Amino acid sequence: MTEEYQGSFSDFNLKPTLLRAIERKGFEHPMPVQTAVLEDDGLLDNDVIVQAKTGSGKTLAFALPLLNIADAQEREPQILVLSPTRELAQQTAREFAWLGADLGVRVATLVGGLDMERQIRALRDGAAVIVGTPGRVLDHIRRGTLRTEDIHSVVLDEGDHMLDMGFRDEMEAILEAVGSVDRTWLFSATMPDEVLSLAKNYLDAPKKISLVADITAHSEISQRAYIIPSRKRFEGLTNVLIWENPSRSLIFCGTKAETQDIADRLCDNGFRATAIHGDMSQRERNNALSALRGGRVAILVATDVAARGLDIDAVSHVIQYGMPQNLEAFVHRSGRTGRAGHEGSNLILLTSREAHQFKGMIAHSGSKLKLEWMPAPDAAEIEGQSRIRFENNILEHALESNEFDEWAHELLSREEAPTLVAGLLAKAYGDQPSGYSIREDVQAEMDREKGRRNEGRGRGERGDRFRRADMTGGVAVQFSQGRSDGWEVGPLLGSLCRCLGIGREDVGNIKLRDSSATVELSQRGAEMLDARKERLARDGLVAASVRPASGERRDSARGDRKPQRSERSFFRERERDREFRHGKQRDREREAQRGVRKRFAKKD
């Protein structure tokens, strides 16, 4: 559990109205980040950089001291808070609203996807606190609906996320527009170079507060990694969900299409799940969040962008489905659980090859992150645990009431007692979810990956890493999407393996161009392509043409295969012919130039 300051909010120089609001909310002790900010009165005269992990209570850390100096009689904006997402901005605005209600402080929320006229009215009504996303705030500044002359405090909340999402230009334009303010406070979970650069340009000799020694070491979060089979990834996810039995969970996927597909398939399997992604309207996103908060669903499947800034209480499990982009993304995802001192579980589901890559990512970063590694549970293990869970549940209900004790003893005294119990179990236990048999697949892939690495060490890792599969009997597929559509080789390979249910060994050469991509698939890959084209299309890949693969085995570490003697002779002849033709062309160009010079000489 997170260590809290054992004093109270009344120990700090806060207005009585703020203390009453805190007391009504039931907060007793300030959290470490709140203590660090509140106990230093000098921070109000300085720019500040605060590094604190997600869910540490940072909203109150900046809201309390800023509302404490706000002038409730002033009807112009005084405090500006920039947030990376609509959801976080709305959550932060709600915090300011209840905290400043007795002060008479009004709050305006400026985010995209919501009615512009309503936001303009809120500004005209005299909002002292402005909370918004960079794009919409800048829009209001340029329209002249948001006046910045009286703003004395700017907060950049989750600065690393805003920069990750490409808001640097908007943030810089806003900071230029507000001009000289009394204080600019930057809150960020991590401090990459982009955040430090922004701070250097716009913060004046900032004080620094850091409450994280190693951002990956969340004491409140248990970290586990499950190995799942590459050709049965969804089955592995299903088994983990049944095994862990989360009360409220977030599942992170790589693409918008995948989030919807996973949510739909989970619903088909009896789970209460819904998706949230960038293609949804704000109303649809709010409905999905309300369903999770209200308990109508237990699983929210999201992309990184959609989940940034979500403030959802009591998320018991974060499940990362596949490789994160980097270790920082892994950390930000894990911060959705174990919030405000609650315990949580962070799970990452990887294939055997991905597990090897992820371990390398951790080692390269120098992080002290420790994970418990294990194969995903198999159907037999799940059945055993489900029965124990079911029996414990029955016992809990029996201990609450003795209404049926006499009947139970009478039934057990009969000869047909075993049959009666079996019938009761069939009726009561029959709807329990069952898992998939995946243990053999997981073990086979782990053994294959171990053998591949041992073989690679024998002849050098590079020789193994760049080997291409034999594509004899396979196909070369040309897709209508390429780099201009946001694809890179790694995500393209991952999407193919995930959607077709194939392994890396079934994919040959990949040629990625601006507007297209050509991929060689093995014979097995070709068969799966025919059956799962629609799944690829949902992931944004449309096959434009399919032709037989060349069947040639290539090794990119050494270049293309070495030509045979007859081929080398052909290449030499072709080169000589090219040189001859180029020489004849040069001669013709020189002759033409001499003729031009002679004509001009005669005219002169």
The answer on 28 and 56 residing in a single domain is yes
Cβ(154)–Cβ(80) below 8 Å: yes
- DSSP annotation of 503 reads -
The answer on 227 and 155 residing in a single domain is no
In a domain, 354, yes or no: yes
How many angstroms separate the Cα of 341 from the Cα of each of 94, 95, 223, 335? 21, 18, 16, 12
What is the Cα–Cα distance from 501 to 537, expressed in whole angstroms? 15
Give the pLDDT band (50/70/90) at residue 387.
confident
Last residue of a domain, one of 210, 230, 265: 210
Q: What is the mean pLDDT of the chain?
A: 81
Cβ(547)–Cβ(475) below 8 Å: yes
The answer on 152 and 113 residing in a single domain is yes
Q: Check residue 465 and give its pLDDT.
A: 41
The answer on 237 and 181 residing in a single domain is no
Tokens for 500, please give them.
Answer: 């077709």
The answer on 342 and 250 residing in a single domain is yes
What is the Cα–Cα distance from 271 to 255, expressed in whole angstroms? 21
The answer on 136 and 99 residing in a single domain is yes
pLDDT tens for each residue of 129-165: 999 999 999 999 999 999 999 999 999 998 888 887 7
The residue with tokens 């201009």 is 484
Q: Residue 130 CB: number of other CB atoms within 10 A? A: 27
Q: What is the total count of domains within the chain?
A: 2
CATH code for the domain of 261: 3.40.50.300
What is the Cα–Cα distance from 322 to 228, expressed in whole angstroms? 10
The answer on 78 and 132 residing in a single domain is yes
* Residue 526 one-letter amino acid: A
Last residue of a domain, one of 380, 398, 422: 380
In a domain, 373, yes or no: yes
What is the Cα–Cα distance from 52 to 186, expressed in whole angstroms? 11
Of residues 500 and 490, more confidently modeled? 500
The answer on 277 and 190 residing in a single domain is no
- Buried-exposed string 71-90: b where 16+ CB fall within 10 A, e elsewhere: ebeeeebbbbbbbbbbbbbb
What is the Cα–Cα distance from 533 to 500, expressed in whole angstroms? 8
In a domain, 200, yes or no: yes
In a domain, 150, yes or no: yes
Q: Is the pTM of this model over 0.75?
A: no
The answer on 179 and 304 residing in a single domain is no
The answer on 301 and 178 residing in a single domain is no
The answer on 166 and 231 residing in a single domain is no
Q: Which of 230-244, 445-459, 467-481 has the lowest mean pLDDT?
A: 445-459
Last residue of a domain, one of 143, 178, 210: 210
The answer on 139 and 250 residing in a single domain is no
Q: Check residue 417 and give its pLDDT.
A: 85
In a domain, 431, yes or no: no
Q: Which of 94-98, 380-384, 460-464, 497-501 has the lowest mean pLDDT?
A: 460-464
Range of the domain at 33: 9-210
